[in-house]
Structure 1
Amino acid sequence: MSVNLELRVVGPGDDDLVEEAWELKERIRARNGVLKQRRGFFTDAYRRSTVYALVASGPDEELVGFAATRRDGYILFLAIDPDWQGEGLGERLVAAVADDHSSVTCHARATNQDAIEFYQHVGFEIERRVDNYYEDRGNAYYLRLGDGGLTERISSFMRR
């Protein structure tokens, strides 16, 4: 059976998929030890964001990935179900964000090598290190999607 993926955009103030996004984020946290947030913080940030969600259709709909983004193009959360990683879904979500924003930025935990490698793979550049960025005093890198050709490359990903 083939599965179709639908990109849905959930606007600020909309609770659509918030529970599914929390559960996905928690599965990733339990498995990989990353994406740790308090539920209230996550829910509030989700509700203030534009969320780009990838939903698999089939007998039951399933949220397989999402990017929660501020209106300035800052990615607050990017999560892909571990069973779907390696399928280009992270790139697809970043491309959707890049299509809607002139600048795309984010933070990544300095110890999360997988996230840093992913962001660099799709064209992000580390701009600076931010010490004690996270609530647990963990350090982060501030990243920006490269200008010009890199932004166009990731933005055009979905048009191929």
Structure 2
Amino acid sequence: MSVNVERRVVDPGDADYVEQAWQLKERIRAEEGVLRQRRGFFENAYKRSTVYLFVDRADRGTLVGFAAVRRDGYILFLAVDDAYQGEGFGEALVARVAEDYSSVTCHARTTNRDAIRFYQHIGFTIERRIDNYYEDGGDAYYLKLGEEEGLADRLSKLLGG
């Protein structure tokens, strides 16, 4: 991870970085066909969430990635800019969430093989499949971060902590 990237947390009700997060999500949607939420839904969910961010200070505060999380540890959105993928930012975001919540869960589109591989790689398990979960009729897997002893500690090491 770059030394110019800093961690930040945006509390519920705060709209800091909402526009940058929307733009990042929309770039991913255009390139990969995932994260297809409407803007109003996205902004409302973002503002109700605790949002964990990585920001590149050397690049005018560019948003590297973010995880928007409900108060129960459910990850609503997780996104990392293409230019920073493969550097551990996604894992570090999940690790940061795992530090604050006893249970970490999310949904992933059943056709999003990259996301499913990513989540399983860091210890999530598929709990169940939900047909017609998404507004467009797409199916989802409900995933949960494994609870084996030491997992939060292992993920925490990705943060350097």
Q: Same fold (TM over 0.5)?
A: yes
How far is 1:7 from its partner? 0.7
TM-score relative to the length of structure 2: 0.95
What do the CA deviations read for 1:55-77 (whole angstroms, capped 9, x no partner)? 00115110010000001100000
Q: Corresponding residue for 2:157?
A: 156
What do the CA deviations read for 1:80-130 (whole angstroms, capped 9, x no partner)? 001111000000000000000010000000000000000001110110001
TM-score relative to the length of structure 1: 0.95
Contact 1:127–1:143, Cα closer than 8 Å, also in 2: yes
Letter in 2 for 1:82: D
Letter in 2 for 1:90: G
Which portions of structure 1, spanning 4 or more consecutive aligned residues, are displaced by more than 2 angstroms?
148-152
Q: Partners of 1:156 and 1:81 in 2: how far apart?
A: 22
What SS does the aligned partner of 1:20 have? helix
How far is 1:158 from its partner? 1.6
C-alpha RMSD of the superposition: 1.2
Gaps spanning 5+ residues in structure 2: where? none
157 and 59 in structure 1: CA distance in 2 versus 1, 3 angstrom threshold: closer
Q: Partners of 1:40 and 1:3 in 2: how far apart?
A: 34
Contact 1:3–1:57, Cα closer than 8 Å, also in 2: no
Contact 1:126–1:142, Cα closer than 8 Å, also in 2: yes
Contact 2:99–2:152, Cα closer than 8 Å, also in 1: no
Identity across aligned pairs (percent)?
68
Contact 2:127–2:144, Cα closer than 8 Å, also in 1: yes
Q: Corresponding residue for 1:67?
A: 67
Contact 1:28–1:35, Cα closer than 8 Å, also in 2: yes
Q: Corresponding residue for 1:90?
A: 90
What SS does the aligned partner of 1:41 have? helix
Gaps spanning 5+ residues in structure 1: where? none
What is the aligned residue count? 159
What SS does the aligned partner of 1:144 have? strand
Give matches, 1:1-160, under 5 Å. 4-147=4-147, 148-159=149-160
How far is 1:152 from its partner? 3.0
